[in-house]
Structure 1
Amino acid sequence: LEGFTFGERITADVGNVLVEKTNFAISGSAQYLFREFAKTFSDCTYLNVGDDLGLENLRRVKMSYRPALFGEKVTLRRNPAGS
């Protein structure tokens, strides 16, 4: 196994990539895997590929997808009991 990805449909027109892993030693494997995965959501207006985690290389790759928009990033924290 040299790569895999899985995701979900969030709404009728939004797909979401949850996990994507590839062997970077195989040139083009990440692009191929993403393209084939995206075909399963070809009827969606948007495909959410998530955050770049602050990694410059990941940012470059995700920007190459020509994003239509960026969502606001938020952090949720549970309040301690009794607060």
Structure 2
Amino acid sequence: MQMLASWFRKAWLVLAVAGIVILLDQWTKELVRNNIPDYTSMIPIPALGEYFVFEHVHNYGAAFGIFQNQGNFFIIVAV
């Protein structure tokens, strides 16, 4: 029983961290959508401009833009 409780404790921690990461991801996306025009960039901290830049682009595919505009492909793969 103790092993099961330990597993649930670890699972809760992983789910909590994942939830926080997802919330931060969605929040930053909303900030970009509302504050940066399409296909432009913004340097929030000038001293880090070379390394830290927000760019507003649209990705209609999977990771890194592969399979762009292939919605049916993803539906079939998911099923």
Could you tell me the TM-score, scaled by structure 1's length?
Answer: 0.23
Greater relative contact order (Cα < 8 A, sep 6+):
1
Larger Rg over CA atoms: 2
More helix as a share of residues: 2
More strand as a share of residues: 1
